[in-house]
Amino acid sequence: MGGYRLAKAVLGCTAGSSWLIYFADLKHFSGSFAPFPVAKVMSSSLAQLPDDPVALKAMVAELQAQNTVLSATVRVFEQHIANLQLRIAKLKRQAFGKASEKIAREIEQLELALEDLLIAKAEASPAAMDEDDEVPEPAKPAATPARAPRRRPRVSADTPRERRELDPGTTCPDCGGQLRLVGEDVSEMLDMILAQLKVIEIARTKKSCRACDKMVQVPAPSRPIPGSMATASLLAYILVSKFDDHLPLYRLNEIFARMGVDIPDTTMVDWCGRTMKLLLPLIERIEDHVLAHDLLHADDTPIRVLDRSRRNASASGNLGKGVRKGRIWAYLLDQRPWGGHASPGVAYKFAADWKEEHVLGHLRNARGILQADAYKGYGKLYAPGADGTVQFKEAACWAHLRRDFHDLWIGTKSQIAREALDRIGALYDIESQITGKPAQIRLAARRAQSKPKVEAFHAWAQTQLTKLPGKNDLANAFRYALARWPAFCLFLEDGRVAIDNNSAERALRPIGIGRKNWLFAGADTGAETLARAMTIIETAKMNGLNPQTYLADVLERINDHKINRLDELLPWNWAPLVPVAKAA
Task: Give 92's pLDDT tier (boundaries 50, 70, 90).
Answer: low
How many Å separate Cα 413 from the centre of its chain? Answer: 31
**Does residue 409 lie within any of the structural domains?**
yes
**Does residue 66 lie within any of the structural domains?**
yes
Q: What pLDDT, on a 0 to 100 scale, did the predictor assign at position 569?
A: 97
Residue 298 has pLDDT above 90, yes or no: yes
Q: What pLDDT, on a 0 to 100 scale, did the predictor assign at position 321?
A: 64
Residue 214 has pLDDT above 50, yes or no: yes
Task: Give 333's pLDDT tier (boundaries 50, 70, 90).
Answer: very high
Q: Are strands 368-371 and 323-333 parallel, antiparallel or unpaired?
A: unpaired
Distance from C-alpha of 565 to C-alpha of 411, rounded to nearest angstrom: 58
Q: What pLDDT, on a 0 to 100 scale, did the predictor assign at position 583?
A: 36
Question: What's the pLDDT tens digit per position in 107-126?
Answer: 555 555 555 556 555 655 55
The answer to whether 197 and 256 are in contact (CB under 8 A) is yes
The answer to whether 236 and 551 are in contact (CB under 8 A) is yes
Q: Picking from 132-136, 240-244, 299-303, 569-573, which range would have the lowest pLDDT averaged per residue?
A: 132-136
Q: What is the mean pLDDT of the chain?
A: 81
Is 73 or 131 the better-scoring residue by pLDDT?
73
Question: What's the pLDDT tens digit per position in 492-518?
Answer: 999 999 999 999 999 999 888 777 666
Question: In the chain, how many domains are there?
Answer: 2
Name residue 246's amino acid: H
How much is the average pLDDT of 313-328?
Answer: 68
Q: What pLDDT, on a 0 to 100 scale, did the predictor assign at position 51?
A: 79
Kindly give, in sequence order, each residue whose CB lies less than 8 Å from that of residue 365, ignoring residues fewer than 6 positions away.
Answer: 291
Q: Say what percent of the chain tops pLDDT 70.
A: 75
Task: Tell which of 474, 499, 524 closes a domain.
Answer: 499
Burial of 302 (0-12, 13-18, 19+ CB in 10 A): middle
Sign of CA dihedral 60, 62, 68, 70: negative
Helix (H, G, I), strand (E, B) or coil at 390: strand
Question: What's the pLDDT tens digit per position in 394-429?
Answer: 999 999 999 999 988 888 889 999 999 999 999 999
Task: Tell me the whole-structure pTM to 2 decimals.
Answer: 0.74
Sign of CA dihedral 522, 524, 526, 532: positive
How much is the average pLDDT of 295-309?
Answer: 88
**Does residue 278 lie within any of the structural domains?**
no
Task: Tell which of 64, 99, 128 closes a domain.
Answer: 128
Q: What pLDDT, on a 0 to 100 scale, did the predictor assign at position 252?
A: 93
**Does residue 368 lie within any of the structural domains?**
no
**Does residue 34 lie within any of the structural domains?**
yes
**Does residue 492 lie within any of the structural domains?**
yes
Number of helical (H) and strand (E) elements in the chain, helices listed first: 16, 7
Task: Tell which of 499, 517, 551 closes a domain.
Answer: 499
> Residue 544 region, left (φ>0) first, then alpha (ψ -120 to 50), else beta?
left
Q: How would DSSP label each residue in 2-21?
A: ------------BTTB----
Tell me the residue range of the domain where 17 lies: 1-44+55-128
**Does residue 449 lie within any of the structural domains?**
yes
How much is the average pLDDT of 127-137?
Answer: 51
Q: What pLDDT, on a 0 to 100 scale, did the predictor assign at position 228?
A: 93
**What count of residues does the chain have?**
584
Residue among 182, 539, 85 nearest 331 (CA): 539
Q: How would DSSP label each residue in 519-579?
A: SSBSSHHHHHHHHHHHHHHHHHHHTT--HHHHHHHHHHHGGGS-GGGGGGGSTTT---SSP
**Does residue 523 lie within any of the structural domains?**
no
